Amino acid sequence: MSPDWLSTTPTTIESLELKLMRLILAQSSDLTPHFRQVNHTKATELTRTQSSSCMASILKNPQRAAEFIFSQPLLATEGLRLYLPIESPLHTKLQSRLKLWGGKVQLRDLLLTESGFVLGLDQERSYGAGLDVLLKEKVLRRSLYFKQSGAQIAQLWPMLQQGRVSAVLEYPFMLATTDASRLHSYEVAEAEPLQLGYFACNKSETGQAIINSLDQSIQALVGTQAYLDLHLTTVPTERQQAFIQNYNQLMLGKLN
């Protein structure tokens, strides 16, 4: 991401979060943002120490809420899914166990019982409150491979395609950054069905002013059909009705 990213022509593989940021920042005419693409650790450090620094599309948890000022949610996405290469021999086993699991992969059970299964994870990323606790269990560590965050998004796709890990946890909207035809995914029982992403800014008067401006733009956009339609481009047709119901409840409900 270049410093003048907002003024450049969007690429066809731009992710949902970047498309939404373009709309929001175009609406925020009082802001003159500059961009740096860094890993999560560096982004957190900058936002913690510099009054005008912010992060985008961040999950909100109690620790982060104590450190930063959060906007209204800018993004809603289907929950994390377990992605495997389409040619993986594990599909046969997973399909046979789905009935026992109630139609969703029980990740803890899979990690404990499938010999040789390795789940690729981003070391500095939050996967949501429930999964974060699960993935810290010592008994599961032998089945987890943690990769250091990079400045680029979706760093784990290449590792999956090269066979270095058996599967990865990722949001469906991130499929825009890889060849989706080479992957098959499963719902995960321990994942939230819908996850919200926020802007998070430095706890300062400057940070609060930035959040106030962003919130005004989000409020003007989030109820529009165009904003919803961007979200729906990442949701398969058969899941769109359920997504819309959750979107209206969680995104519009936050504004009331």
Q: What percent of the chain has pLDDT over 70?
A: 92
**pLDDT at residue 81, rounded to an integer:** 93
pTM summary value: 0.78
The residue ranges of DSSP E strands in 37-97, in sequence order, are 54-58, 69-70, 75-78, 81-85
What average pLDDT is seen over the chain? Answer: 88
Average pLDDT for 67-94? 94
Exposed / middle / buried, residue 101 (Cβ in 10 Å: 0-12, 13-18, 19+): middle
* Domains delineated in the chain: 5-77+195-255 (3.40.190.10), 80-187 (3.40.190)
Q: Which string of b and e fits 213-252 if b means at least 16 CB within 10 Å?
A: bbbebbeebbeeeebbebbeebbeeeeeeebeeebeeebe
Relative to beta strand 144-147, strand 167-170 is unpaired
Per-residue H/E/C for 120-147: EEECCCCCCHHHHHHCCCHHHHHHEEEE
**1 confidence band (pLDDT: 50, 70, 90):** low
Helix (H, G, I), strand (E, B) or coil at 247: helix
**pLDDT at residue 151, rounded to an integer:** 42
Average pLDDT for 69-92? 94
CA distance 208 to 69: 7
Helix (H, G, I), strand (E, B) or coil at 43: helix
Closest CA to 211 of 28, 71, 75: 71
